[in-house]
Structure 1
Amino acid sequence: MLTELFIAVSLLATGASGTAPATPDEFSNSLQEPMDFSGVTAAVDLSEGVHVDITYELDGVGQVRLAAQGELDGPATFILLVDDTTILDFGGELTELPEQTWETFNSEYLATLDHEEAVSLFNSLVQVWATAEVEQALAEAAEAAPSRSVLCDVAGGLSGGSIGVAAGAGCWWFFKKFKTCKKVGVGLATSVFGYIKDKCEGAQN
């Protein structure tokens, strides 16, 4: 639902040092490899729209926070921070989000990361949705929410949208291939959308 947000990939700068993935497929595969997390906290509220707030510690990078909220028939917002640095902060109607992403993505911060750190950050944004803490928060919120599958659509869309941003941005960072990176972002976003939607609807049944 929000997967078009991967268009943020065109903001990322070149210049990171270190060993980069050899191909877009290699990068995409790296984002699907499980990783260890520490200090994960997650809060999900489905009572009025969808509100998601996730924080965790990422070795070599710092404390990562991803917060998103969306109304059933209204705007969506995202904020991504590392320690006290805002990496992405935007909101609006879905048709406006790509343009806002273009204007607000903090490419200066990303240019300070080496390739290994950048892959670790993008990978964590993909994999954190499968941690026990996030799954438990989603299940508890779904059980307390009205039994409406549209809420699960929004929850899946918010999570899938953030994955599209992370995967597409990382791909563009390394390869600067728009169409290929679009496929990477959309593919992972679609998978995560279905995963979160199924978890949410399963908790409501």
Structure 2
Amino acid sequence: MLTELLIAVSLFAAPAAGPAPATPDEFLDRAARANDVTEADFEAVLNDLELSIDLHHVDAFVETAHGIHMQVDYPIALGHVTITMRMGEEGTGVARLTLNQRVLAEQKFVDGKVITESTAFGALTDEEAYLLVASVYQVWDHEVVIKALAETRGLLCGLAAGISFLAISAGVFAGCELATSGLGTAACVTLGGGLGTQTGAIVHDKCKKAQN
């Protein structure tokens, strides 16, 4: 059965052991205590993701005849980006982020539950990783995507938030690892997971507002 609740279990899972934080502030407090990541670190990266980038020639469509299928396509300096989400009525499906047809983030679902997740940002530089994840974060504000979302209801927002969470988490981690930030691997994991959680929730809210 298709339910947003099952998707949310994956979306808001904490990157370390223990119960998921209930709010972004709680996540920030836990992250700062655990790995010396401060709220300023989170805000700095989020501000970078919010710096306006040119998103031209964005295409988006939604099909809901049997289950749900949404696809968003757009070019950036790195190449052609595609975000696709497909799930049948029985709850089996896949969500993917691709760059030039190369899969960089993927979630697979059975019975509405995420069964596997994978990312492949290792070949990107830190600047490329941040550009890509910023585009993923910002494309949900594009008028073409908003128009497509306005024609749908329900599960799609959970799928959009889930693949955005995964992509942004992996992209921020990759950029953090490659940049000369001095945070270290553990802190970069926390930073990526925290930003993924926050931005995934923001994408979910953007989607719901578009639908309303």
Task: Name the TM-score, length of structure 2 as normaliser.
Answer: 0.69
C-alpha distance in structure 1 between counterparts of 2:210 and 2:89, whole Å: 18
Q: 1:95 Cα deviation (Å)?
A: 4.2
State the AA in 1 paired with 2:68.
Answer: V
Give distance in 2, aligned partners of 1:96 and 1:158.
10
Counterpart amino acid of residue 91 in structure 2: G
Aligned-residue offset at 1:34? 3.1
1:167 corresponds in structure 2 to: 168
Residue 101 of structure 1 is matched in structure 2 by 117
- Per the TM alignment, residue 135 of structure 1 is displaced from its structure 2 partner at its CA by 1.1
In structure 2, what is the equivalent of residue 52 of structure 1?
70
Distance in 2, matches of 1:27 and 1:161, equals 19
Match of 1:78 in 2: 95
Aligned match of 2:159: 158
Q: Is the 8 A contact 1:5 1:161 kept in 2?
A: yes
In the alignment, the residues of structure 1 paired with residue 102 and residue 145 of structure 2 have an alpha-carbon distance, to the nearest angstrom, of: 23
Partner of 2:44: 26
- Residue 80 (structure 1) shift: 1.9
Alignment-mate amino acid for residue 127 of structure 1: Q
1:91 aligned to 2:100?
no
Distance of 2:162 and 2:126 partners within structure 1: 23
Percent of aligned positions that are identical: 22
Partners of 1:41 and 1:154 in 2: how far apart? 21
Structure showing greater relative contact order (alpha-carbon pairs closer than 8 Å, 6 or more residues apart) = 1
The two structures have a TM-score, normalised by structure 1, of: 0.71
- In 2: Cα distance, 1:183 partner to 1:90 partner: 19
Contact 1:6 1:166 (8 Å CA) reproduced: no
Q: Which structure 2 residue ranges, 5 or more long, are not aligned?
A: 17-39, 178-184
Question: Counterpart of 1:147?
Answer: none
Say which SS state the counterpart of residue 63 (structure 1) adopts: strand
1-side partners of 2:197 and 2:89: how far apart? 22
Q: Higher helix fraction: Structure 1 or Structure 2?
A: 1
Closer/same/farther in 2, CA of residues 157 and 117 from structure 1, 3 Å limit: same
Determine the structure 2 residue equivalent to 1:135. Answer: 146
Match of 1:67 in 2: 84
1:166 shift after superposition: 2.1
